[in-house]
Amino acid sequence: MLMPRQKTPDLAVSTLDHGEFNLAADKSERGVVVCFYRGLHCPICANYLKEFEKQTPEFAARGVSTIAISSDDEDRTRQMADKIEAKHLRFGYGLPLEKAREWGLYISTSRGKTSIGIEEPALFSEPGLFMVTPEQTLYYGSTQTMPFVRPHFSELVGALDFAIKNDYPARGEYSGAV
């Protein structure tokens, strides 16, 4: 299990238009929001990523970079980026499922074609949203077993404003006996 204030797993993936993304080398002032999404086959992901695209300049204004990552290949990732008309949001692809597991993501099996007629991969990860500090420690994390009911990016931006103003630490860090 990932723990707040502790180092996250390393993460390096190819991106569509920004070369290699390497979490350890990302030089954003206040960190990076990493959104793991299911893939091109997921219509809910497309709507969610549209909102992430819309909020990416708001994160950037606060010194936070953004990236959306899936285990899809480059072609399917390009289709998703085109579908949501991405201009600001970085897209990473080819996430190994072993790496998804390191991040605590749930893995699902294919059920064939989705409601939008796109075949699901044989295996793929379910959604996860993380904010990682410049020191590569976990600040915020959310994982899901289903594609539904995800954290809102506008709320994360608002929470970030509060955290910056109040020097608010990551919470949930206690790992001792209870």
Within 8 A by CB and 6+ apart from 133, the residues are 30, 31, 139, 170
Structural domains counted in the chain: 1
Q: Give per-residue pLDDT as tens, 34-69.
A: 999 999 999 999 999 999 999 999 999 999 999 999
Q: Is residue 173 part of a domain?
A: no
Residue 121 lies in domain: 12-164
Q: Is residue 112 part of a domain?
A: yes
Q: Is residue 139 part of a domain?
A: yes
The C-alpha angle 163, 127, 129, rounded to 5 degrees, equals 15
pLDDT at 66: 98
pLDDT at 156: 98
Asked whether 98 and 3 are in contact (CB, 8 A), the reply is no
Q: Is residue 136 part of a domain?
A: yes
**Mean of the per-residue pLDDT values of the chain:** 97
pLDDT at 116: 94
pLDDT at 75: 98
Q: Is residue 77 part of a domain?
A: yes
pTM summary value: 0.97
Q: Is residue 19 part of a domain?
A: yes
Percent of the chain beyond pLDDT 70?
A: 100
Q: Give per-residue pLDDT as tens, 125-145.
A: 999 999 999 999 999 999 999
Q: Is residue 28 part of a domain?
A: yes
pLDDT at 12: 98
Give the span between the Cα atoms of 9 and 128, in whole angstroms. Answer: 14
Q: Is residue 31 part of a domain?
A: yes
Q: Residue 46: give its domain's CATH number.
A: 3.40.30.10
